[in-house]
Amino acid sequence: MNSSKGIAYCQGQYMPVDEAVIPILDPAFTKSDVVFDAISAWDGAFFKLDDHMARFQRSCEYIRVKPPHSDEEMRTIMAECVRRSGMDHAVVFILCTRGRFAGGVAFGHPKDAENGFIAYSVPYYWIVPKERIGTGAHIWIADTRRAPDVAINQRVKNFNRMDLTRAQFEASDAGADAPVLLSTDGFVTEGPGFNVWIIRDGKVLTPGENLLEGITRQCVFELCAEAGLQAEAVNMTEADLRDAGEVFISSTGGGVIAVTVINDKPVGNGAPGLTTGKLGDMYWKKRSEGWDATALDDLLEPEIAQAAGD
How many residues bind to ligand PLP according to rule CB under 6 A? 13
Q: Which residue is nearest to ligand PLP (CB)?
A: 214
Of 76, 252, 276, 294, the one binding ligand PLP by CB under 6 A: 252
* CA gap 212, 307 in Å, rounded: 39
> Is 215 a residue that touches ligand PLP (CB under 6 A)?
yes
Bridge partners, residue 237, by sequence: 187
Piece of the chain touching ligand PLP by CB under 6 A; list 20-28, 187-195, 263-271, 277-285: 187-195
- Closest of 19, 54, 24 to residue 37, by C-alpha: 54
* Minimum CB distance to ligand PLP smaller for 97 or for 195: 195
Query: Shortest gap between Cβ of 167 and ligand PLP (angstroms)?
Result: 11
Please, is 81 exposed, middle or buried when counting C-beta atoms within 10 Å of its C-beta (0-12, 13-18, 19+)?
Answer: buried
Of 42, 56, 117, 194, the one binding ligand PLP by CB under 6 A: 194
Query: Shortest gap between Cβ of 103 and ligand PLP (angstroms)?
Result: 35
Of 67, 136, 193, 207, the one binding ligand PLP by CB under 6 A: 193
Query: Shortest gap between Cβ of 301 and ligand PLP (angstroms)?
Result: 28
Query: Shortest gap between Cβ of 157 and ligand PLP (angstroms)?
Result: 6
> Is 139 a residue that touches ligand PLP (CB under 6 A)?
no
* Minimum CB distance to ligand PLP smaller for 9 or for 194: 194
> Is 216 a residue that touches ligand PLP (CB under 6 A)?
yes
- The full DSSP string for 257-307 is EEEEEETTEESTTSS--HHHHHHHHHHHHHHHTTTTEEEGGGTS-HHHHHH
Query: Shortest gap between Cβ of 99 and ligand PLP (angstroms)?
Result: 23
* CA gap 159, 28 in Å, rounded: 9
Beta-strand relationship, 116-123 and 7-10 = antiparallel
Query: Shortest gap between Cβ of 222 and ligand PLP (angstroms)?
Result: 12
| Separation in Å, CA 214 to CA 8, 121, 280, 295 | 24, 19, 16, 22
> Is 210 a residue that touches ligand PLP (CB under 6 A)?
no
> Is 33 a residue that touches ligand PLP (CB under 6 A)?
no
Of 168, 183, 251, 276, the one binding ligand PLP by CB under 6 A: 251
* CA gap 216, 43 in Å, rounded: 18
> Is 279 a residue that touches ligand PLP (CB under 6 A)?
no
* CA gap 51, 123 in Å, rounded: 21
Contacts of residue 308, Cβ cutoff 8 Å, sequence gap at least 6: 83, 297, 300
> Is 183 a residue that touches ligand PLP (CB under 6 A)?
no
- Do 238 and 111 contact (CB within 8 A), yes or no? no
**What is the contact surface with ligand PLP in residues (CB under 6 A)?**
38, 190, 193-195, 212, 214-217, 250-252
